[in-house]
Structure formats: structure tokens, C-alpha cells
Amino acid sequence: MHRFNFVIFRPIQMIPVLFGISLITFILIHSIPGDPIRILLGPRATQEVIAAVHAQYGLDKPIYIQYGYFLLNLTKGDMGRSIVFKMPVLALIGERITATLFLLTYGLVFALALTLPLAIIAAIYRGRFPDHFIRLVSTVGLGFPAFWLGIMMMIVFSVWLGQFPVSGYGRTFVQHLHHLFLPSLTIAIALSAVLVRNLRASLLVEMDSDYVAACRAKGLPERWIFYRHVIRNSLIPTINLLGVNLGWLIGGTVVIETVFSVPGLGSLLVSSIFTRDYMVVMAITMVFACAIVIVNFIVDIVTVALDPRIEL
Amino acid sequence: MTAKVLEVEDLVVTIHTASGVLTAIDGVSFELHEGEVLGLVGESGSGKTLTGRAILRLLPSRRMAIQRGAIRLNGEDITKFDETRMRRVRGRSVGMIFQNPTSHLDPVMTVGSQIAESIRFYEGLPRKESLVRAAELLRQVDIPDPAVRLSSFPHEFSGGMRQRVMIAAALACRPKILIADEPTTALDVTVQAQILRLLLGLRERRGLSIILVTHDLGVVAQTCDTVAVMYAGRLLERAPKRNLLRGTLHPYTMGLIASQPGKGKPREELPSIFGQQPSLSDLPEGCRFHPRCDYSEAQCRAAVPPLEEVDVNHQTACRRWRELAKQKILGAA
Ligand SMILES: Nc1ncnc2c1ncn2[C@@H]1O[C@H](COP(=O)(O)OP(=O)(O)OP(=O)(O)O)[C@@H](O)[C@H]1O
Ligand SMILES: [Mg+2]
């Protein structure tokens, strides 16, 4: 199966890309004015104490030496220590990553559960009321920024109706589902608005295609043709669009988690930038970069599996 | 004569457009006998494809409808069938193949599954057994290594092989009639000849009757038994191939024959019929061909010429055929 050879080579090709991302992030974060130790110790700390703590974290060294240490530690599977939380960065990320993963998966499943039926109904009822209605709703969904939608839903469902908690993540699986319902719905609406229109359009193109006419001439019923031919062909462009949007969404968790106070990586990234917790920012940026790379990788595998014509 | 398997009588197909109702097929009648290859010829836009698709009740647009006429399959008028009964006609009594095999095959499904799917659906055979049948069909359309090729995708085949695959898929449920809509137009000449030979072979082996839609009289000369000539939605002439090619009784057919590149006149400029086929929204009165006809007279403009039985099996829709034949313009030399 040489069409799937890229599954082996792509990860190797990605190493220099991730290396570049780490370098750029390192330079960027160190060029923001401000000092994590000063922020941490407060205005009354003496020069000597500050210098001592600097030395403890290696912050007194020139930036290229610091980056060298970062890389050296990375090869040992160590991402340094958080200045603010006073614990290894990896352990901190381990604590926070589940909420983010849960939120993203929940949002994605939700988005697909909305997109597939809505797009199929719109395509089947092309030009009639259900189609117009679904297209109108998805246009409206496109028009609102996700964070605004999130805040509005929080006001209505959590504050007025008291149906959902306004923050946190819960402890059990069911509590997770309950706590993260509104944030994942926010994600799902933002995603579905884009995907429904795209999938509807490609369903319509495929429903009009020649191979559908040939299937009818073979005596196959419409349902059979739709579920065995049309959907699969239509999903190919939509899966690619989903890949692009998931990359965008991984960054978007920063906003969603902040709005809904979800204890995930996104909200941790924001607070760590404010406290100049260098190593945490570095680590989360790398995690997000890897996640985007992995998502694109998965999308490529799915595309190649769906479309035999594609070779990567 | 062998049994009549299909009879189209006074078929009228209309198209609803914003500017009114157009008549795309206007009173077409012909019949197809067991084992016969009927060539349906005419210029682009004359309604050949529409006629073929009307027989399967698969008109390309929802704005089209069979307005009138009967399509009798073994004596039963299928224009009266509901959609469920009609589906059982498609693929099982009448199969169809198309001009562009590439776009008429699902690009993401293996050819084996595409050939086998109607067998699976109609005979309820499990996947494995239906694929065995598919391999047998691929062998019958002369695809080498059929068992291996089952799992290939359409893009892994050449154009000619794709057309063979489409033929195999159309014949999977053993229809007795095949409508072939310009099956060789997209292929190069050598492959064209192979496909036509394959169709003739299948006719022998399966007792297939074929409606071969084409605009190429060379193809007609090689393969057909009888020919029906269409022009602007009407039938102008119908005859056994020999009678038609040697002694046509319609000036339009004469023009078509003269404009074919032949062996005798290699460098000479080809004569062509001047002008263009009229558009459906602006059809001339009387004979639709009269504005382009060198021999038209007042009577041709006045009324629609009926399809007149000249001879057994030879019909023409020209009012002047007798005169023109006498002047040795039409008819056998
Ligand atoms: N989907 C459609 N909508 C509107 N008009 C159509 C449609 N398909 C065909 N027609 C019209 O119907 C008439 C007959 O078309 P048809 O496709 O049967 O021609 P044809 O003889 O098969 O030509 P060709 O050799 O180009 O395939 C033409 O005038 C064409 O413009
Ligand atoms: Mg055509």
C-alpha cells in the first residue's frame, strides 16, 4: 500500500517544523517586556533575592543558552518547571490537558451530530422550506463570533435559567458532560455553520453527477445510491474543511476556556502569558502545534482512505 | 422477423422552461426486435439521448416529462408503471451505458462492487458470491485478470476498459435490451472498433437487442441492422441499414451521408449541410428540415410531413421523396 507510505515519512518531516515553531515561540515570549520573578515576588522583593531566583531558574543566562537548555531538557523528556505553580511543566500540562481534550472531542462529536443530519436534510429538500431554513440558520451562525455566542448562552441558560454551571469542569464523566455542555455547544455551532453549507453544496453536486444517473439506470433505489455513493463522495471535501477548522479550533479553546472558566490548557496559556511563566507558555504552544500537526495528519489519512485517487 | 421486444409509439417529451413549454421529442415511433441493433442517429441536440433516457423514464431534469405516447416492453406500456415497477425494468429488462465512462462510474468504489451492487440488491446475494458473478462479467467483456481487477478503482483503467466495466455493470442483472448512448464517442478509433465488436459479440451470446445512439454513420455502417434518423426531435427516416446507406429517401440523411469522411475522397473538402439545426424555442412550420433543405418547396413549409411507409420497413418523412427519387437525386442509383 504505497499510497499510505506518508504515514511513516510525514512524522519525520514534521520534526524540523516543530523545531522551528519552538524557536520562534521562545524568541517571541522572551521579547515581551516584564519579568516573571518580579511579578511573582511582588514589588517589595530586594534586588539580591530576585537575582538569586533568576539564577535558580537559569534566567540570568543569555537567551541562546536558555534555548539550548530547553532543547537539552526536551531530549530528556523534561520541559522545565513552572515558576508560578512550582511544579514540573509536564505534570501541570497532564493535569490540564484532559479538560481541553474532553472539550474538543465533545465539541467535535456535537458538531458532526448537527452537521450530518442538517446537511442531508437540506440537500434532500433542496430549494424547499427545510433547506431555506437550515441555510438561514447556518448563515446566522456564521455571523456571530463564537465567544459572543458563548457569553449569550451562558447568560440565558446558566444565569437566567440556572440549567448549567457557569464555570469548572466537574469530577465524573457525567459531570464533565454537564459542565462542558455550553462550551462544546458553542464550538459545535461555530463549526457546523461552516460545515453544513459545505457538505450541503457538495451533496448537491454529487447528487447531480453522472454516476448517480448510471446507478439509477442499473435500477438501484434512491436511498441505496445516496447512502452508498453520494455521501462518501461528498464527505471528501468536507473532511478537509473540517481539518482546517479543527486547527483553528485548537487555538479557539483559548477563548472558549476563558469565557467558560474551563481549567484546560487554553485558560492556562492565557494566565501563564500574564505571569510570564516562560516554560509553561513554551510547553503549551508546543502541545498546540503538535495537536494541529496530528489533526492534519489524521485528516490526510482519512482522505486517502476515502478517495483512492489521492496519493500523498 | 423475430419478436418485437420494444415498441415506442408517438413519444412526446416536453421541457418546462421559464419562457414556456418546449417539445424536445415530437411524435417519435420505432420498434426494436430481438437481437436487432438499431442505430439512432442525428446531429447534436436532435434528441437522441433524451429518447434513450425516456425509455428508462430517466429524463435528465425534473422539468422534463413524457407528455404522450407509449413505450411497450414485451407488449406492456411502461409509461403507466409506477416508480417501483419502473425500477425493476431498469437494469433487469433494459440496461443503459453512457458516452463518458469516466464520469459515469463512482470514482471511490471498486469496479467489482459497482458491477456487483445491482446483483446484491436484486438477487440478495452475499458480497462474496456477487463478486464471483462480477468477475465472470468482467471476463465476458474481455478484461484480463478479472478476479484481480475486481478490486481496482475506475481511475486505474484506460478509457476503453472503463467502458467495458460500464457494459459489465449494465448487464449484471441480464437485461435483454441495452441502450448505448454514444458508447464510443470519447474513445480513440481502435478502441472504438473493439467496443463495437464486443457489443456485437454480446448480442450473439446473450440475444441482446441494442439501441445504439451515435452521430457517426461509420459506426452505423459497421454495426447496425436498422437505422432511425432524428432531427430537431422528430424522426425523419427509418430503414434497414443497407437501404438507408445505399438509397436514402430523405434529403437530410443524404446530407449526413455526404458529410461523412469516406475512403474515396481523402483530401477533398467535405460537403456539409449549410445552416444549423433550429432551436427548440423557434422551430419552423411544416418540415423542420426545410430551411436547410436544397429541395424544399411551398408544400414543405405548409404542413408537417407524416412518416410515410415507402417499402416494407422503410419510412421517410419527406413529401417530395417520389419526385426526388424519379430525378435520381434520392434513392438507389
Ligand atoms: N437538462 C436539460 N435541460 C434543458 N434542455 C435540455 C436538457 N437536456 C437536453 N436538452 C435539450 O433537449 C434537446 C435534445 O437533447 P439531447 O441531449 O437528447 O440531444 P442529443 O441528440 O443526444 O445530442 P448530442 O449528440 O449532443 O448528445 C436539445 O435541444 C437540448 O438542448
Ligand atoms: Mg446525447
Give the closest residue (by CA) to ligand 1 atom 12. B24
Q: Say yes or no to pLDDT of A181 above 70.
A: yes
User: Is the pLDDT higher at A142 or at B163?
Assistant: B163
The verdict on a CB contact (< 8 Å) between A219 and B90 is yes
Q: Are A103 and A262 in contact (CB under 8 A)?
A: yes
A26-69 pLDDT tens trace: 888 888 777 778 877 887 888 888 888 888 878 888 888 888 88
Q: Are B195 and B98 in contact (CB under 8 A)?
A: no
Give mean pLDDT, residues A234-260.
91
Closest atom of ligand 1 to B61 CA is 1
Whole-angstrom CA distances from A123 to A139, A220, A238, B83 are 16, 19, 14, 21
Give the pLDDT confidence score for residue A61 in this predicted structure.
Answer: 83
Q: What pLDDT band is residue B265 in, cutting at 50, 70 and 90?
A: low
User: Is the pLDDT higher at A218 or at A156?
Assistant: A218
Q: Say yes or no to pLDDT of A167 above 80.
A: no
B224-263 pLDDT tens trace: 999 999 999 999 999 999 988 888 889 899 888 888 776 5
Give the closest residue (by CA) to ligand 1 atom 31. B45
Chain B interface mutation, best of A211, A220, A228, A307, highest count of B Cβ atoms under 10 Å? A211
Give the pLDDT confidence score for residue B308 in this predicted structure.
Answer: 85
User: Is the pLDDT higher at A213 or at A77?
Assistant: A213
- Residue B84 CA neighbour count, 13 Å, CB half: 0
Which residues of A fall within a CB distance of 8 Å from B137?
A: none
Q: Say yes or no to pLDDT of A91 above 60.
A: yes
Give the pLDDT confidence score for residue A129 in this predicted structure.
Answer: 94
The verdict on a CB contact (< 8 Å) between B153 and A309 is yes
Q: Say yes or no to pLDDT of A16 above 70.
A: yes
| Among B205-219, B227-241, B273-287, the least confident range | B273-287
Give the 3-state secondary structure of A255-280: HHHHHCCCCCHHHHHHHHHHCCCHHH
Q: How far is the CA of B54 from the centre of ligand 2 (A)?
A: 12
Give the pLDDT confidence score for residue B1 in this predicted structure.
Answer: 58
Q: What pLDDT band is residue B266 in, cutting at 50, 70 and 90?
A: low
Q: Say yes or no to pLDDT of A1 above 70.
A: no
pTM of the model: 0.86
Give mean pLDDT, residues B212-216.
92
Exposed, middle or buried by CB within 10 Å (0-12, 13-18, 19+), for B284?
middle
B137-160 pLDDT tens trace: 999 999 999 999 999 999 999 999
| Among A3-12, A237-246, A248-257, B119-128, the least confident range | A3-12
| Among B42-51, B69-78, B173-182, B279-288, the least confident range | B279-288
Q: How far apart are the CA of A212 and the nearest CA of chain B, in angstroms?
A: 7
Give the pLDDT confidence score for residue A69 in this predicted structure.
Answer: 86
Q: Which domains does chain A have, with CATH numbers?
A: 8-75 (no CATH), 97-306 (1.10.3720.10)
User: Residues A287, A290, A296, CA angle at the centre, nearest 5°?
Assistant: 140
| Among A105-109, A165-169, B41-45, the least confident range | A165-169
ipTM: 0.90
Q: How far is the CA of B181 from the centre of ligand 2 (A)?
A: 7
Q: Which residues contact B43 (CB under 8 A, 6 or more apart)?
A: B215, B231, B277
Using DSSP, state whether B260 is helix, strand or coil. Answer: coil
Cα–Cα distance measured from residue B169 to residue B129, given in angstroms and rounded to the nearest whole number: 15
Cα–Cα distance measured from residue A100 to residue B287, given in angstroms and rounded to the nearest whole number: 76
Q: Are B238 and B227 in contact (CB under 8 A)?
A: yes
Give the pLDDT confidence score for residue A141 in this predicted structure.
Answer: 82
Which residues of B fall within a CB distance of 8 Å from A236?
A: 108
Range with the largest mean pLDDT of A17-26, A207-216, B255-264 = A207-216
Give mean pLDDT, residues B82-93.
93
Q: Which of A86, A196, A83, A182 is nearest to A142 (CA)?
A: A196
Give the pLDDT confidence score for residue B267 in this predicted structure.
Answer: 56
Nearest to A211 among B89, B106, B173 (CB): B106
Which residues of A fall within a CB distance of 8 Å from B172?
A: 218
Q: Are B63 and B57 in contact (CB under 8 A)?
A: no
Helix (H) or strand (E) holding A252: helix A231-259
Cα–Cα distance measured from residue A91 to residue A268, given in angstroms and rounded to the nearest whole number: 13
Q: Which residues contact A3 (CB under 8 A, 6 or more apart)?
A: A304, A308, A310, A311, A312
Report how far Cα B145 is from the mean position of its chain's Cα atoms: 31
Cα–Cα distance measured from residue B110 to residue A228, given in angstroms and rounded to the nearest whole number: 12
Nearest to A218 among B91, B107, B108 (CB): B91
CATH architecture, domain defined by B4-229: 3-Layer(aba) Sandwich (3.40)
Q: Are A141 and A193 in contact (CB under 8 A)?
A: yes
Sheet with B177-181, strands from edge to edge, namely: B94-97, B177-181, B209-214, B37-41, B226-231, B234-240, B314-316, B308-311
- How many C-beta neighbours within 10 Å does residue A188 have? 22
Domain ranges of chain B: 4-229, 232-326
Q: Say yes or no to pLDDT of B320 above 70.
A: yes
Radius of gyration of chain A (CA): 24
Q: Which of B78, B89, B74, B48 is nearest to B211 (CA)?
A: B48
The proportion of chain A whose per-residue pLDDT surpasses 70, expressed as a percent, equals 100
Cα–Cα distance measured from residue A306 to residue A110, given in angstroms and rounded to the nearest whole number: 22
Give the pLDDT confidence score for residue B163 in this predicted structure.
Answer: 95
| Torsion sign over Cα B205, B211, B213, B216 | positive
What is the rounded average pLDDT for all residues in chain A? Answer: 89
Give the pLDDT confidence score for residue B230 in this predicted structure.
Answer: 95
Give the pLDDT confidence score for residue B263 in this predicted structure.
Answer: 52
Q: Say yes or no to pLDDT of B168 above 80.
A: yes
The proportion of chain B whose per-residue pLDDT surpasses 70, expressed as a percent, equals 96
A278-293 pLDDT tens trace: 889 989 998 998 899 8
A252-263 pLDDT tens trace: 889 999 988 899
Q: Which of B247, B261, B274 is nearest to B329 (CA)?
A: B247
| Among A58-72, A116-130, A256-270, B38-52, the least confident range | A58-72
Q: Which residues contact B270 (CB under 8 A, 6 or more apart)?
A: B258, B259, B260, B261
Q: Are B208 and B97 in contact (CB under 8 A)?
A: no
Q: How far apart are the CA of A209 and the nearest CA of chain B, in angstroms?
A: 8
Q: Say yes or no to pLDDT of B333 above 70.
A: no
CA of B169: which chain A residue's CA is closest?
Answer: A218
Q: How far apart are the CA of A78 and the nearest CA of chain B, in angstroms?
A: 46
Q: Say yes or no to pLDDT of B283 above 70.
A: yes
DSSP B154: G
Q: Which of A184, A20, A6 is nearest to A111 (CA)?
A: A184
Mutate to test the pocket of ligand 1, among B23, B41, B49 (most ligand atoms within 8 A of CB): B49
The verdict on a CB contact (< 8 Å) between B90 and A218 is yes
